[in-house]
Structure 1
Amino acid sequence: MSGLAGLLAGRTEPGIYRWHGAFDTADVQHAVEHAHWNFAWVDGWHHQDKKEFLDAAGQALGFPDNWGHTFDALGDCLADVTAGDSNGWVLLWDGWGTLARSDEQAFSVALSVLGGRVNADRGGPFAVLLRGEGPESMTGVESLD
């Protein structure tokens, strides 16, 4: 978990990263929470389209049931996600390549909205880990491996 360890220790800036760590999700969650970060997980293998991604992200991040389920609403709710007493947030998105391949526009908007929270000046650090394989054509997303 060396790339993740660097992020959790503050040696790597929070951002959106491709990550190929083949660790069980529960082990990743344990490592993140042990470092006093909040953990959220989106299972892109089972939530493959735009609507399913939005539903899963809202649930993972603890949004209220009536949060809106649109990308605009996702951005608004992400602005309210704070680190609280923790060091920040890690959102692990497994199977992201499914949405990236099937609906490139929705995936691009999702990354843009998540990136807006990553780069926010308030709310504490927020990192997104895109785990698994996806289109090689993605530019600007560094590897955390």
Structure 2
Amino acid sequence: MTGLLPAAGIPGLLDGTVAPGVYHWHPPVSVPRTARHAAEAGWRPAVLNLHGATDKASFLARCATDLELPDWFGHNWDALADCLTDLSWWGETRGYLLLVEGWGAFRTAAPEAAGIAADIFADSVHHWAGGTTPMAVLLAADS
């Protein structure tokens, strides 16, 4: 599911009343505060800061650093997909929440890379929807 995060927002996502998906999001509170709220609810949050990322290479470099991807991450699209569908390196949790900052500017600077990244996010969310541990991706509006 892609679209705007429903009115129930983060609380609804964390309590299961909002289906996991890839959502465009206008944060009413800071991203770090949202990450803390998710962690308090038993979810594993991660913040991907794309401010200044302008191409595939800088996007993948940010993913490696910000998401603390494992050493076997190969800095390519397939490796990113593998990492996001095998989150054993993130540990056990009630759910996975990826908060993406700077999405709009990245999408403008690198539309093809952003499209591929969005597809990988959607495929990863779909992968996790088949089990007991959901994953959601929030693409934060640029401030």
Q: TM-score, with normalisation over the residues of structure 1? A: 0.82
Contact 1:48 1:99 in 2 (8 A): yes
- Of all paired residues, the percent bearing the same amino acid is 33
1:81-111 Cα offsets, whole Å, 9 max, x none, are: 1574321111000110112111111101001
Structure 2 alignment gaps of length 5 or more: 1-6
Contact 1:40 1:60 in 2 (8 A): yes
From the superposition, tell whether residues 123 and 53 of structure 1 become closer, same or farther in structure 2 (CA, over 3 Å).
farther
* Higher-RCO chain (CA-CA 8 Å, sequence separation at least 6): 1
Q: Give the alignment partner of residue 24 of structure 1, picking from 21, 25, 30.
A: 30
Aligned to 1:74: 80
Is 1:110 the counterpart of 2:111? The answer is: no
Is 1:129 the counterpart of 2:135? The answer is: no
After superposition, the CA RMSD in angstroms is 2.2
Q: Give the alignment partner of residue 102 of structure 2, picking from 81, 95, 99.
A: 95
Q: TM-score, with normalisation over the residues of structure 2? A: 0.83
Q: Secondary structure of 2:48's match?
A: strand
Higher helix share: 2
Distance (whole Å) between structure 2 residues aligned to residue 130 and residue 101 of structure 1: 14
Structure 1 residue 130: deviation in Å? 0.6
Moved over 2 A (4+): 46-49, 58-62, 82-85, 121-124
Contact 2:52 2:106 in 1 (8 A): no
Aligned residues, how many? 134
Aligned to 2:3: none
Contact 1:79 1:123 in 2 (8 A): no
Structure 1 alignment gaps of length 5 or more: 134-145
Q: Does 121-130 or 2-11 show the bigger shift?
A: 121-130
